């Protein structure tokens, strides 16, 4: 045991936006044009480590039968004196990852008031955006590395939770020595990729209003062209010298309607229906192919990770029906039934022990074979796909009120039954990611002229976290609730004192495996630590306190 990553990162962003508006008796025109650009990323990543402790230090018990792996070993407090010899930066870890993101956009809207029966206005508009993203990885060329005693890089100990203490690192010295060991950089082709996305949207909408009813209806047309540059991977594990480009496109027409009925003076019935989309994350769209664990010293960690520029957006047809009762000027009770039929979304397919035509030379040298005697072409293959199907149905309940003495409250509860075919996921659990069946939010507050206080409790039932491809895998986060406190006091017209506490009760984050063990272990899709009820990850909760001053000039 014993390794420490030291990173240095920075980011710079600039946004320029110009708004325009023109009002005429018969119409109104408004719009905007602008550019947003950011550059930055990791300036340097380095790794310092050395074997720490002796074999006898780690004797004890490791109990994985509960929600958290309980570790009770001979020694729990380590400092720099426990490292086994001098250390220097690990050459394989040295790299930088500069990235850039830029979008130029323009939008124009036209509103025309009309008197056509219940229709009160027509609105139409267009928007165009040109978005460019680039990711780069450059591996360092190692020169003469600085070798130091562990006591130079580590001083004392720091709590690592669960009763353990580990050596406290000197990050500034680690970064300085890592820079001193670098003689140059070379492009890491699997870590290079670009995206160029051109989005066009056009909409038309009509507002209507009559006695006891109001709303709008319309259509939205969207069109996207996207391309990704990357270095292609051949069947021998080599990357091409020249860039390749993958392209894709999609378009859609999305209708929507929203209606509000005044049942009484203080009772409103609302209904809506629409088709909606949400584009995939850029990190999923890069068309790169990366061989993780290829030709290293760790057998059994070989993974082929593949992106997919042809991913379609999340698309759903949704509708809701709700009723709102305003029982006083500040009070509201509401209930809403909603439903979403999901057409497409992005997911990951992962299969272990696959032959892809590339043999790992280190496996051959070590004589290590996972897929059969003499088989050194043995990979976990992971790629992004367009998944299909799913349904989300549920109810939202809400109540809020405020009193003349400054006290107030709000509470809401959401029930969501979110199911999707199990075949869409490597863990074969048929629920959407990040969706809890039960969610509760409770807020109490006090507001006076110079002082405000807010106490908020947010709780959700278990939900799936999916981070394949990658080390963290797919697992289920257990029910979690967090209590936060914030207070502000206006000392003068120009100065305010701020006090905040996040996770006041120090709740822990518990994450467990849920996938069933497949009958054919050879074709299993997940590592054993993500099988049902295995305590995959746990994070000891901490309360975070903030005290500050805010000045207004």
pLDDT of residue 52: 87
pLDDT of residue 3: 55
Sign of the torsion formed by the C-alpha atoms of 72, 74, 77 and 83: negative
CA distance 350 to 365: 27
Q: What is the DSSP string of 144-212?
A: ----B-HHHHEEEEEE-STT-EEEEE-HHHHHHHHHHTEEEEEE-GGG-EEEEEEEEEEEEEEEEEETT
Candidates 274, 280, 279; CA nearest to 220 is 274
pLDDT of residue 523: 55
Residues of the chain with pLDDT below 50 are none
* Helix (DSSP H) and strand (DSSP E) numbers for the chain: 4, 30
Q: What is the pLDDT of residues 312-355, one digit of tens each?
A: 999 999 999 999 999 999 999 999 999 999 999 999 888 778 88
Bridge partners, residue 383, by sequence: 306, 349
pTM for the whole structure? 0.86
pLDDT of residue 472: 76
Relative to beta strand 379-388, strand 303-306 is parallel
CA distance 490 to 507: 31
pLDDT of residue 235: 77
What ranges in 198-331 are assigned the alpha helix state H? 282-285
pLDDT of residue 373: 76
Report whether the peptide linkage leading into residue 469 is cis, meaning its omega lies within 30 degrees of zero.
Answer: yes
Give the distance from CA 11 to its chain's centroid. 19
pLDDT of residue 294: 77
Candidates 156, 164, 160, 153; CA nearest to 49 is 153
Q: Which residues contact 198 (CB under 8 A, 6 or more apart)?
A: 128, 129, 130, 131, 224, 225, 226
CA angle at 227 for the pair 221 and 231, rounded to the nearest 5°: 165
Backbone phi and psi for residue 218, each to the nearest 5 degrees, phi listed first: -175, -175
pLDDT of residue 170: 92
Q: Which residues contact 415 (CB under 8 A, 6 or more apart)?
A: 394, 395, 396, 437, 438
Integer CA distances (angstroms), 111 to 312, 360, 514, in order: 32, 63, 52
Instruction: Assess contact for 461 and 479: CB atoms under 8 A.
Output: yes
Relative to beta strand 451-460, strand 407-419 is unpaired
pLDDT of residue 524: 60
Q: What is the pLDDT of residues 376-411, one digit of tens each?
A: 888 888 888 999 999 999 999 999 999 999 999 999
Q: Which residues contact 102 (CB under 8 A, 6 or more apart)?
A: 35, 36, 37, 38, 131, 132, 133
3-state SS track over 352-390: EEECCCCCCHHHHHHCCCCCCCCCCCCEEEEEEEEEECC
Q: What is the pLDDT of residues 37-58, one digit of tens each?
A: 999 999 999 988 778 888 999 9
């Amino acid at each position: 045991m014993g390794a420490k990553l030291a990173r240095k990162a920075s980011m710079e962003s600039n946004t320029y936006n110009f708004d325009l508006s023109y009002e005429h008796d018969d119409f109104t025109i408004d719009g905007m044009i602008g550019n947003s650009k950011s550059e930055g990323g990791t300036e340097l990543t380095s790794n310092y480590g050395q074997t720490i402790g002796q074999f006898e230090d780690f004797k004890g018990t490791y109990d994985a039968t509960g929600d958290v792996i309980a570790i009770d070993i001979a020694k729990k407090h380590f400092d720099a004196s426990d490292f086994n010899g001098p250390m220097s930066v690990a050459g394989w870890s040295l790299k930088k990852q500069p990235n850039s993101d830029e979008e130029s956009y323009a939008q124009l809207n036209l509103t025309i008031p009309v008197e056509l029966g219940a229709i009160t206005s027509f609105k139409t508009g267009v928007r165009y955006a040109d978005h460019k993203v680039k990711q780069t990885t450059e591996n360092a060329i190692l020169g003469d590395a600085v070798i130091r005693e562990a006591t130079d890089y580590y001083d004392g100990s720091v709590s690592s939770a669960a009763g353990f203490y580990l050596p406290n690192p000197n990050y500034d010295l680690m970064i300085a020595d890592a820079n001193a060991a670098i003689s140059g950089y070379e492009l890491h082709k699997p870590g290079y990729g670009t995206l160029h996305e051109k989005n066009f949207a056009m909409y038309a909408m009509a507002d209507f209003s009559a006695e006891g009813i109001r709303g709008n209806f319309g259509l939205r047309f969207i069109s996207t062209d996207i391309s990704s540059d990357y270095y292609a991977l051949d069947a021998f594990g080599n990357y091409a010298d020249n860039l390749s480009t993958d392209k894709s496109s999609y378009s859609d027409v999305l209708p929507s309607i929203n209606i509000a009925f005044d049942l009484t003076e203080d009772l409103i019935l609302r209904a809506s229906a629409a088709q909606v989309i949400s584009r995939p994350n850029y990190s999923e769209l890069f068309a790169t192919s990366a061989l993780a664990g290829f030709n290293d010293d760790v057998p059994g960690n070989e993974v082929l990770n593949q992106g997919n520029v042809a991913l379609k957006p999340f698309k759903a047809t949704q509708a809701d029906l709700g009723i709102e009762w305003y029982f006083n000027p500040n009070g509201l009770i509401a209930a809403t039934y909603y439903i979403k039929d999901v057409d497409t979304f992005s997911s990951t397919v992962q299969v272990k022990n696959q032959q892809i035509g590339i043999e790992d030379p280190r496996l051959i040298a070590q004589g290590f074979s996972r897929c059969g005697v003499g088989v050194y072409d043995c990979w976990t293959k992971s790629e992004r796909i367009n998944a299909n199907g799913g349904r989300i149905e549920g109810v939202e309940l809400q109540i809020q009120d405020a009193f003349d003495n400054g006290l107030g409250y709000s509470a809401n509860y959401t029930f969501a039954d979110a199911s999707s075919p199990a075949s869409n996921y490597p863990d074969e659990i048929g629920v959407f990611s990040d969706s809890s069946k039960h969610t509760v939010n409770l807020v109490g507050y006090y507001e006076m002229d110079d002082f405000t206080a807010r106490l908020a409790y947010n709780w959700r039932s278990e939900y799936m976290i999916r981070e394949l491809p990658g080390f963290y895998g797919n697992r289920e986060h257990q029910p979690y609730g967090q209590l936060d406190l914030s207070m502000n006091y206006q000392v003068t017209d120009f100065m305010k004192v701020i006090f905040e506490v996040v996770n006041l009760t120090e709740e822990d984050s518990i994450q467990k495996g849920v996938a069933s063990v497949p009958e054919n272990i050879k074709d299993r899709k997940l590592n054993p630590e993500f099988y049902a009820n295995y305590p995959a990850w746990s994070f000891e909760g901490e309360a975070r306190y903030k005290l500050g001053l805010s000045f207004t000039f």
